[in-house]
Amino acid sequence: MKGKVFILEDDESICGLVKVALEMHGLQTQAYNTLKSFIAAVEKDRPDVALLDIMLPDGSGLDALRYIKSNFSDVDCIMLSALGKEEDKVNGLNTGADDYISKPFSVLELTARVNARLRRRQKQPILTVGNVTLDTETFACEINGVSASLNRKEYELLKYFMENAGKVLSREKLLTQIWGYDAGETRTLDNHVARLRKLGVKIDTVFGVGYRL
């Protein structure tokens, strides 16, 4: 089973153990030991699952959790913490965590829980990023909780943006992926982006490059 996992853990021994265990099961992993470096990484490349320690040298893993769920709510988040009291678990789950594992833990159990989250994602046809929800089976779209009507290319463009949320996508790449050409004519793309923006989709222009959701 393939999947991308980001690990936020300042204990090098725990981080190394978790990283090796996940990679032995075929998962891609990236590890970070500070809140700042983790958030910077998520802004560039969205993981499928995030493993979050709570007590960090520059903040709290709960802040990372809030950031992810506010911007990329479809990312599954599992808390890994020495704070194992019932109220700690309840607080983490109420803040938005999808699972909570207390330290010390079994890496086999952790790997099984990560794989369970990945299996669930494979069965989940719903994409959610920020204020936009897209059902890839029925093609239904909601923006700010309101149903939005999209034509085929608007749907394909929005889906591609959501699958690559946080990444800067060049005009050439977007034209190739959605329309099958990159001949330099960007008016069609710009018009479709303008239409999505009018519906309420938050797409940034990166001048001289392209766009980013």
pLDDT, average across residues 84-112: 90
Q: What is the pLDDT of residues 39-78, one digit of tens each?
A: 999 988 889 999 999 999 999 999 999 999 888 877 899 9
CATH of domain 127-212: 1.10.10.10
Q: Where in the chain is the domain with CATH 1.10.10.10?
A: 127-212
CATH of domain 4-124: 3.40.50.2300
Q: What is the pLDDT of residues 177-191, one digit of tens each?
A: 888 766 556 788 899
Between 120 and 57, name the one with better pLDDT.
Answer: 57
138 pLDDT above the threshold of 80: yes
Cβ(141)–Cβ(27) under 8 Å? Answer: no
Residue 126 makes CB contacts below 8 A (sequence gap 6+) with 74, 133, 134, 135, 136
Q: Where in the chain is the domain with CATH 3.40.50.2300?
A: 4-124
Q: What is the pLDDT of residues 148-172, one digit of tens each?
A: 999 888 998 999 999 888 888 988 8
What are all long-range contacts of 168-176, with beta carbons under 8 Å and residues at least 24 apart?
Answer: 168/206, 168/209, 168/210, 168/211, 168/212, 169/210, 169/211, 169/212, 170/209, 170/210, 171/209, 171/210, 171/211, 172/210, 173/210, 174/210, 174/211
pTM over 0.75: no
